[in-house]
Amino acid sequence: MPRQREVSTERLRERVEEMSGEKLFACYQCGMCSAACPLTEEMDRLPSQVIRALQLGDPTVIESNAMWVCASCFACEVRCPKGVDLAKLMEALRQIRLRRSLDWISLDELPRERIRELPQIALVASLRKKAG
């Protein structure tokens, strides 16, 4: 398994903004994204908390399950008064997390039970990278 690279907090913010095309500090924490999200009960952090953690440079945000639970339904973007596209931020976090250790996974090498436990978006993202 490749060695994981540590990402500085400033570099994490820069990478998320670069990959997503969104400005983290456009968010002023009104909470509308969290109120609109249909999956908050499944997340360990609310969508607004993910953005705030990124704004503060909290490196533990990359370990959150919120980015895997996000369905990219765009309910957050529709309700956001600043037009911040949280789905793009979540996708950037997923990409950063996947690139920390493995760029792709081989589904043939995983037991069926493990595949059932994985978030579907992780499998889709991994296969997209492998095929693209």
Distance CA 22, CA 80 (A): 13
For Cα atoms 56, 59, 61, give the angle at the middle one, nearest 5 degrees: 85
Q: For the domain bounded by 9-101, which CATH number is listed?
A: 1.10.1060.10
Tell if the pTM clears 0.75, that is, is over it: no
Please report the pLDDT score of residue 36 as a whole number: 95
Burial level of 74, CB count in 10 A (0-12/13-18/19+)?
middle
Please report the pLDDT score of residue 67 as a whole number: 92
Please report the pLDDT score of residue 10 as a whole number: 80
Find where tokens 């043939």 sit: 108
Burial level of 98, CB count in 10 A (0-12/13-18/19+)?
middle
Contact 4, 34 (CB under 8 A): no
Name the percent of the chain lying above pLDDT 70: 80
Helical (H) or strand (E) element with 122: helix 120-131
* 132 residues of the chain, pLDDT tens digit each: 333 445 567 888 999 999 999 999 999 999 999 999 999 999 999 999 999 999 998 989 998 999 999 988 999 999 999 999 999 999 999 988 888 764 455 667 778 887 777 777 766 766 665 554
